[in-house]
Amino acid sequence: MAATLAASEHAVTVCWAVMSIPVPGDALALAFDHVAFAVPDLEAAIAEYGKHLRLVVAHRERIEEQGVEEALLAVGGSFVQLLCPLGPETPVGKFLTKRGPGIHHVGYRVASIEQALAAMKASGARLIDEKPRRGSRGTRIAFVHPAALGGPLVELVEEPAEGSHHG
């Protein structure tokens, strides 16, 4: 790929590069599902993403079990996930207190959450969840410890079956 590109060439070249990178047939991570950001004020964060990146909210959900109010903003086939804690003793609340606002986790899309968990357990990854939990949009999710992949908390995401209804 050329080191410098005119602005008009950029989209085409990125597309070519993505299409031509070989991916192993047994890769567990199929795509970035979302990158999650811990934010202290959800409305203010949504306004900033609208103003600076011109992104809009595609989905909102309150997930009591995870202690978060979420806003998803679509970026291509993935999402920015803005997470505001429901209280200080929740995972995102503790994170904000200790580290301040910033990237909280990366969500990878997988074909089967059970298979991905079994494979990662077999490869020695430190799992937080041995079994899937309910995620937003009707997804099934599981968390992998930050120590497993060099720092960031990782979430595995299985999309809901096509045509299924969710809140």
Name the site residues for ligand KFV (rule: CB under 6 A).
36, 63, 66, 68, 81, 83, 91-92, 94-95, 98-99, 104-105, 107, 128, 135-136, 139, 141, 143, 146, 152-153, 155
- Please state, in angstroms and rounded to a whole number, the distance separating the CA atoms of residues 152 and 40: 19
Q: Which residue is nearest to ligand KFV (CB)?
A: 135
**Shortest Å distance, C-beta 79 to ligand KFV:** 9
Q: Which is nearer to ligand KFV, 25 or 167 (CB)?
A: 167
Q: Which is nearer to ligand KFV, 39 or 141 (CB)?
A: 141
Q: Which is nearer to ligand KFV, 124 or 151 (CB)?
A: 151
Residue 111 has a CB neighbour count (10 Å cut-off) of: 11
Residue 158 burial by Cβ neighbours in a 10 Å radius (0-12, 13-18, 19+)? buried
Which residue from 39, 29, 30, 46 is spatially nearest to 103, judged by alpha carbons? 39
DSSP state of 127: B
**Shortest Å distance, C-beta 139 to Co ion:** 9
Q: Are 107 and 32 in contact (CB under 8 A)?
A: yes
Dihedral (Cα; 24, 80, 145, 124), 10-degree rounding: -10
**Shortest Å distance, C-beta 65 to ligand KFV:** 8
69 is a site residue for Co ion (CB under 5 A): no
**Shortest Å distance, C-beta 134 to ligand KFV:** 8
155 is a site residue for Co ion (CB under 5 A): yes
What six digits make up the tokens of 167? 């809140």
